[in-house]
Structure 1
């Protein structure tokens, strides 16, 4: 991105707010956000895999939207996949989306979700299509 002020700022959606997401850093190349485990657990008391996927999709999409905005375009998700490595019962997780490809028509971001103790819990990859505003 250029040295000018960011043209776009992340605004949390309803699901992000319900999950307790907090954005720490934002750019097309990297978005970092945290989420508490508490309030996002499944019936066995573990962090819900779907919550991790939702968090991963959110940070990857935000990065794509920031990149798209620099070209007057919008980003729409076309693929998301996740590998769950571990889970957690307590604490906070951090999702870091890192750009793998920032093109004129597609973006791809890898999102690593890690527990506060540094353990990788999930790896998400998201691809977004960049389209002209209609």
Structure 2
């Protein structure tokens, strides 16, 4: 499957989900990474007018889980996020953030991802770590 087909598939399975509610869009993919973007506006603000940490975590888990799905046979297996941590390092009021998930460990049952959320100037906003469990599909 080529790059555009992968991105199209990732965006298609996100319709009518939290990802579409937050306007998350998958925009780039490579051999060991997946990138998504999310607009920063009042829909993802906390009461002080800044990007909500929970929205950042939702973006991170979305891109990390979708990235794991690229590495498993979805006819046989399912991906479940089992742990996520986030350090929010810089605030953001408006514009766009980009989340890049890169594989740290690819096991048969666990995937570990580092997700860097950056602004348009590639400044680090949040640094996240996500562990996904790979489970056999229930029959």
Structure 1 length normalisation: TM-score? 0.88
Query: Deviation of residue 28 (structure 1)?
Result: 6.7
Q: Distance in 2 between matches of 1:118 and 1:25?
A: 15
> Which position in structure 2 is the counterpart of 1:44?
48
Query: Deviation of residue 89 (structure 1)?
Result: 0.6
Show structure 1 runs of 4+ deviating over 6 A. Answer: none
Q: Distance in 2 between matches of 1:59 and 1:27?
A: 13
Structure 2 length normalisation: TM-score? 0.85
> 1:38-58 CA distances to partner (integer Å, 9 max, x unpaired)?
121111100111000000000
> Which position in structure 1 is the counterpart of 2:28?
25
RMSD across aligned positions (CA):
2.1
The 3-state SS of whatever aligns with 1:67 is: coil
The 3-state SS of whatever aligns with 1:9 is: helix
Unpaired runs of 5+ residues, structure 2, are none
Select the structure that is richer in helix.
2
Equivalent in 75, 93, 98 of residue 94 of structure 1: 98
Query: Deviation of residue 69 (structure 1)?
Result: 2.1
